[in-house]
Chain A
Amino acid sequence: MTEPLLKIEGLKKHFPTTTGGAFSKVKGTVKAVDGIDLEIYPGQTIGLVGESGCGKTTAGRTILKLYEPTGGKITFEGQDITHLKPKQMKPLRSQMQMIFQDPFASLNPRHTVGTLIGAAFEIQGITPAGGVEAEVQRLMARVGLNPEHINRYPHEFSGGQRQRIGVARAIALKPKLIVADEPVSALDVSIQAQVVNLLEDLQDEFNMAYIFVAHDLSVVQHISDRVIVMYLGKVMEEAEKVDLFTHPRHPYTKALLSAVPVADPIKGRKRERIILQGDLPSPVNPPAGCVFNTRCWKAQDKCRTQVPELMQIGKDPSHRIACHFPED
């Protein structure tokens, strides 16, 4: 295989928790992301899934160096970018972009669509052939917005249209990698499909790699080639999509998949369901041993003391899980 576009090794992001006040002291750390590995190739989509607080958003942001990594290594096109300064990152920013979850909060309400999308060219000091305005209008048309609306403000658009503005802004500089953080979860069901289709078409056209961060497993299943399941900052399981969805080996993945409601009254009601007890433990104070042991129905003494390593399992050489007692 060719070189990966982006390679992540043992990536960590820890946030200090403080006592607050004027003489604030650090009292602990939240290990939001605690050692993840990832390789992504051009045109590939990797889904990053998990429940709230599992660290998937922090992982996405640290990969783009919107957060300074606490540990690990990020290599982009062969270049180690782990500890590059913001200034050194700037030329690389055109290669890696982000799409945010909330199309209502991620667009400056005082800027027109033209300014919002055109900002990418201005920041990078690039003048596209034909001028910025023509290029912005071309981009708007490409993502399904009316180019005549270039002088409108975000509040004049619906949620789905705003997310299209976010997409246009992200693809403006023809990046090689896009991290999309829950790009459709704020949208209505009938609009979600429009945006998912748009993202897929653009990927085909520009051969971009996507890291797709989401909690909705059915959308992740639809769009991803490979899926990484996270729980409390750690990777529980990762595999090619078909393998993961048809043959999950980690108890958490199995429970997570079984909890997704199926839009089919007969199949849905017959389905065997694993209902996990309790809630996600606090990431400030994660359980010892395997982080999932407090909710796992298979947990034994070993799980409470020894952290399971992420290891290869099954026929697929890239299927890895972190569990002492995998499912068959």
Chain B
Amino acid sequence: MTLKPFLEVKNLNVAFPTEDGLVQASNDISFTVARGETLAVVGESGSGKSVTSLAVMGLHDRKRTQITGQAFLNLESGPVDVISADAEVVRKLRGKAMSMIFQDPMSALHPYYSIGNQLIEAWSLYNEGDKAAGKKRAIEMLDLVGIPDASKRVDEFPHQFSGGMRQRVMIAMALINNPSLLIADEPTTALDVTVQSQILQLIREMQKEFNMALILITHDLGVVAEVADRVNVMYAGKIVESGSAEDIYYRPDHPYSIGLLNSIPKIGELDSKRLVAIPGQPPSLINLPRGCSFRARCSFSDRVANNLCATTAPTLDTKTTDHFSRCHLTEAELVKARKESGGI
């Protein structure tokens, strides 16, 4: 891509000091997202996918969080590192340059204020003009996200909207100032599947309309397959694999991704053969084991010579063009592993 990516995250670390020790929630994270591109971040709970995005949005309490590394937003006025920038500077970027929608539309809206008031508040942060102009814009946005009868419903309250409608309102609010980066954190997890497909379609349309860089955080491998250009697979705070959607689904290069893809039942596969589960459970993020974090659950670590997996943490290396994996196994061995574990 010739265009400079809109977001460049470099060696980002996020850690929380607790009574039990330091929780290393995000560990050496680097990635980029360009405008018009969709990056999906997949991982289980505690893998660090949300923590990373919250750091980009500047939403961690800086007093209680140790954040190192850089995250550049390449604005027209020049790049800004949102990690080192003043909190006030980041606050002025939030909502305008970058925006976020959250998992639970039930709790993300204020129950006391009308939908219109909440949208107007978001709009008036960055726009001159009276309330009437704000309301006009609010109705426009509600219309755009597919809320029927927007001019009437703008005066209604969150409890009068269904879950799917509230998520539409959240999207309208996130996009009202025309951001260049949208982070959607599990935007459809709380919704029913028929409503999920409506919302995913809407997010994709909006991405086109506003030419946004989109980061979609999810644990649903089906959702990822349908919308992502690139995929980062996270495990225990680290990106363990990164590549195009096709790379990740057809040529996964990390034993965790291979295991994950094999462990989900696929719709349309009717022979009900036994699922191949990944044994064990993710490690605690306090005092991570030496070496590879996935080793305890990996079926292939015995193939690496000199017990390397137990002693040395693998780095995120190129396996094939534009496809990275944090594994000591060679590409040839990974291809073999893929075949053995069910032939993806």
Interface residue ranges, A against B (CB under 8 Å) = 51-52, 158, 160-161, 188-194, 196-197, 200, 215, 217-219, 221-223, 241-242, 245-246, 255-257, 259-266, 268-269, 273, 275-277, 279-280
Per-position binary interface string of chain B over residues 221-257, scored 1 when its CB falls under 8 Å from any chain A CB and 0 otherwise = 1111110100000000000000001100110000000
Counted as pairs of residues, one from A and one from B, with CB atoms less than 8 Å apart, the total is 133
Q: If the complex has contacts A191-B281, A197-B277, A268-B225, are A218 and B265 also in contact, measured as CB distance less than 8 A?
A: yes
Q: Is the CB of B192 within 8 A of A51?
A: yes
Residue among B162, B197, B276 making CB contact with A193, cutoff 8 Å: B276
Q: Is the CB of B263 within 8 A of A192?
A: yes
Residue among A51, A269, A277 making CB contact with B226, cutoff 8 Å: A269
Q: When chains A and B are docked, how far (Å) is the Cα of A215 from the Cα of B189? A: 12
Closest CB in chain B relative to A214 CB, distance in Å: 11
Q: When chains A and B are docked, how far (Å) is the Cα of A113 from the Cα of B250? A: 42
Q: Contacts of A262 on B, CB cut-off 8 Å?
A: 222, 225-226, 266-268
Q: Does B296 contact A (CB under 8 A)?
A: no
Q: Is the CB of B275 within 8 A of A196?
A: yes
Closest CB in chain B relative to A72 CB, distance in Å: 27
Q: Contacts of A266 on B, CB cut-off 8 Å?
A: 246
Q: Is the CB of B270 within 8 A of A241?
A: yes
Q: When chains A and B are docked, how far (Å) is the Cα of A276 from the Cα of B201? A: 12
Name the residue among B163, B220, B223, B266 with the largest chain A CB count within 10 angstroms: B266
Sample of 16 further A-B pairs with CB below 8 A, known A262-B222, A265-B249: A188-B44, A190-B277, A191-B277, A196-B265, A221-B270, A222-B275, A261-B220, A262-B225, A263-B225, A265-B228, A265-B246, A268-B222, A276-B194, A277-B198, A279-B195, A280-B192
Q: If the complex has contacts A52-B192, A215-B193, are A275 and B277 also in contact, measured as CB distance less than 8 A?
A: no
Q: Is the CB of B263 within 8 A of A190?
A: yes
Closest CB in chain B relative to A240 CB, distance in Å: 10
Interface bin, chain B = 35 or more
Name the residue among A189, A217, A221 with the largest chain B CB count within 10 angstroms: A189
Q: Is the CB of A259 within 8 A of B219?
A: no
Q: Is the CB of B265 within 8 A of A222?
A: yes
Closest CB in chain B relative to A270 CB, distance in Å: 10
Q: Contacts of A222 on B, CB cut-off 8 Å?
A: 265, 269, 272, 275
Q: Is the CB of A256 within 8 A of B225?
A: no
Q: Is the CB of B263 within 8 A of A193?
A: yes
Closest CB in chain A relative to B300 CB, distance in Å: 16
Q: Does B260 contact A (CB under 8 A)?
A: yes
Q: Contacts of B225 on A, CB cut-off 8 Å?
A: 261-265, 268
Closest CB in chain B relative to A156 CB, distance in Å: 13
Q: When chains A and B are docked, how far (Å) is the Cα of A31 from the Cα of B73? A: 53
Closest CB in chain A relative to B251 CB, distance in Å: 12
Closest CB in chain A relative to B34 CB, distance in Å: 19
Q: Does B54 contact A (CB under 8 A)?
A: no
Q: Does B151 contact A (CB under 8 A)?
A: no
Q: Is the CB of B272 within 8 A of A275?
A: no
| Sample of 6 A–B contacts (CB below 8 Å) | A190-B263, A192-B263, A197-B274, A221-B265, A222-B272, A265-B228
Closest CB in chain B relative to A221 CB, distance in Å: 6
Q: Does B279 contact A (CB under 8 A)?
A: yes
Q: If the complex has contacts A51-B192, A245-B268, are A260 and B275 also in contact, measured as CB distance less than 8 A?
A: no
Q: Contacts of B194 on A, CB cut-off 8 Å?
A: 51, 255-256, 259, 275-276
Q: Contacts of B281 on A, CB cut-off 8 Å?
A: 158, 160-161, 191
Q: If the complex has contacts A189-B44, A191-B281, A222-B272, are A261 and B264 also in contact, measured as CB distance less than 8 A?
A: no
Q: Is the CB of A261 within 8 A of B223?
A: yes
Q: Is the CB of B267 within 8 A of A217?
A: yes
Q: Is the CB of B267 within 8 A of A260?
A: yes
Q: Is the CB of A223 within 8 A of B278?
A: no
Name the residue among A188, A215, A265 with the largest chain B CB count within 10 angstroms: A265
